[in-house]
Amino acid sequence: MKSFLYVSLVALLAASLGGCIVNGQIILTESFGGGVTTDDILNKEVVDLNSNSDYAEHKDDIKSVDAISVVASIKNNLPTDAKAHVYISDDPSFTTVEEVKAGAELVFVSPTIPGDGSLLVDWADGFMYMVDEKPVIDQVLGDGIFTVYVIGNVADFDLDYKAEVTITLTVGK
């Protein structure tokens, strides 16, 4: 009985030590060069998380997606107040607002950007504007490749944006 207990404790200790070595949290940061997006010429960007070596190395060992936050700087080039709506999709072919709304998934809605003004979404509260994390989580757990579309919530929009998304993952075997 005693030796059995000893063996069990050793096994447990080995398992927890092993856990310390192979489990951990990693933080992926992806920048969106962005640029100007208008109702006439939509800006879109294909993201491939595999270009991040931490993601490529651990993508098969992801245990959970723990947090998603966004830092963004957005300038409104028109006099009308607007919000930026960020959509993602596996389909990189959309070129109109109608196609994006119909075929992509809305994940982020910015606060109002005043007409002819600008807005900064900082790291501390960027997560609050994620309206749906699931499509992003699905991409992270999937192939890591998706297209980001940014549109305005008004008929005529002209937004100049730059953004960075931070995704915190727990990985382990």
Please state, as a whole number, how many other Cβ atoms lie within 10 Å of the Cβ of residue 96.
12
Nearest residue (CB) to Ca ion, 115 versus 142: 142
Considering the complex, what minimum distance in angstroms separates the CB of residue 171 from Ca ion? Answer: 19
Nearest residue (CB) to Ca ion, 67 versus 145: 145
Considering the complex, what minimum distance in angstroms separates the CB of residue 50 from Ca ion? Answer: 11
Half-sphere exposure of 52 (CA within 13 A, CB side): 20
Does residue 114 sit in helix, strand or coil?
Answer: coil
Is 125 an interacting residue with respect to Ca ion (CB under 5 A)? no
Instruction: Return the residue of 26, 137, 145, 154 that touches Ca ion, per CB under 5 A.
Output: 145
Is 137 an interacting residue with respect to Ca ion (CB under 5 A)? no
- Interface region with Ca ion, contact rule CB under 5 A, candidates 4-12, 23-31, 112-120, 135-143: 135-143
- Interface region with Ca ion, contact rule CB under 5 A, candidates 18-26, 99-107, 123-131, 144-152: 144-152
Is 90 an interacting residue with respect to Ca ion (CB under 5 A)? yes
Burial zone of 77 (CB within 10 Å; 0-12 exposed, 13-18 middle, 19+ buried): middle
- What residue type is assigned to position 147 of the chain? T
Q: What is the dihedral of CA 144, 150, 98, 109, to 10 degrees?
A: 100
Q: Residue holding tokens 């809305």?
A: 106
The residues that touch Ca ion, with contacts defined as CB under 5 A, are 90, 142-143, 145-146
